[in-house]
Amino acid sequence: MVRYVPRLADGQKVKLAWPLALFRLNHIFWPLDPSTGKWARYLDKFLAVLGCLIFMQHNDAELRYLRIEARNRNLDDFLTGMPTYLILVEAQFRSLHILLHFEELRKFLQIFYANIYIDPRREPEMFKKVDGQMIINRLVSAMYGAVISGYLIAPVFSIINQSKDFLYSMIFPFDSDPLHIFVPLLLSNVWVGIIIDSMMFGETSLLCELIVHLNGSYLLLKRDLEMAIQKILVARDRPQMAKQVKEQIIITIRKNVALNQFGQQLEAQYTVRVFIMFAFAAGLLCALSFKAYTNPMANYIYAIWFGAKTVELLSLGQLGSNLAFTTDSLSSMYYLTHWEEILQHSTNPRENLRLLKLINLAIAMNSKPFYVTGLKYFRVSLQAGLKILQASFSYFTFLTSMQRRQMSN
């Protein structure tokens, strides 16, 4: 089975950053190549169904643990299993959605890498600027890598100590102590950890890349229009000036419409998964912060996980806000085309009138900023990220107050 290989418009392979290169190995979240044969596709679907069944088994086992701890009213032990359970449920929803839209995702990525992705050979400066905005996201990916490495070390100690402990807080409805049962379950723990961890940093990395390259394409659109207008002003072909500017604005509007349409495709592709990600974020951050606060030395993995999730939300929100700011300034881009100077020097009244009507149309077309949203309920913006952090802090203070009551009783 060959996974889809991103290519530019001329067929050149895209050199993926390491988080996306690892994410491409995820057989649930990365689509197949169009050349994949029928039997290979059947095998991939079988593996996807098998993976979903493993997710369901883990869901049942972790939920059993949470129910028992909830009945025992042991808040600390209850919250030990809560982060992994929340991220497991989130992964189930996101994987189900992506499996139902596998072909649409591949076609969407083909359009992105062929038409939107900034080619470093043609636009090295803009690519460097865009790629620089991904540094924080790659730091987040490294932090997630530290989290999963901490979980993957656990099986080694489990074998050395012969304790037969699972990676996560789980209780199975059958006897899991026999070695021929314990080993497959432990290996399934490892598989689930790798798949979910690569999902957490990989899909966010892909979404960030989509946003920054779309934003960079809008900036290139603005730069090219400004340069073309300056050339027309310098040449000062008075009978043709208004017509030349009009033609240049028409070219820009066509590119503008293509970028706007891609933005709508981006929204359609990610709106459900963004909603799931943001909806689970507050509860996950609350549980992680509580565990890190109660015993920071023993729960250092929770602290790293909390830091990674926090930076992820803020960096993704900042990129979303940057895209909204750029698209909001597009109307000003058309207004600031020196049309007053063009009208002053142009000697063709008919073309002058057409130019003014075209500029009004372009301004009206870009009257609203573009946001990636979660089912129109969450916006991918810095403000939304800060609100989630504020909500998680409120939940955190509630949990600490409950712990104090338990200790006093």
**What pLDDT does residue 409 have?**
62
pTM of the model: 0.92
What gap in Å lies between CA 53 and CA 229, rounded to an integer?
Answer: 59
**What pLDDT does residue 69 have?**
85
Work out the angle between the directed axes of helices 241-294 and 382-408 (0-180°, nearest 10): 10
Q: For residue 233, give the amino acid letter.
A: L
**What pLDDT does residue 166 have?**
84
Rg of the chain in Å (alpha carbons)? 26
**What pLDDT does residue 406 have?**
65
**What pLDDT does residue 159 have?**
67
Walking along the chain (409 residues) 10 residues at a time, the average pLDDT comes out as 87 92 89 87 89 92 91 81 90 90 91 95 94 93 85 70 80 88 88 89 94 96 94 89 92 95 95 92 87 72 88 94 94 90 88 91 91 91 91 82 69
DSSP for 55-89, written as a single string: HHHHHHHHHHHHHHHHHHT-HHHHHHHHHHHHHHH
**What pLDDT does residue 247 have?**
93
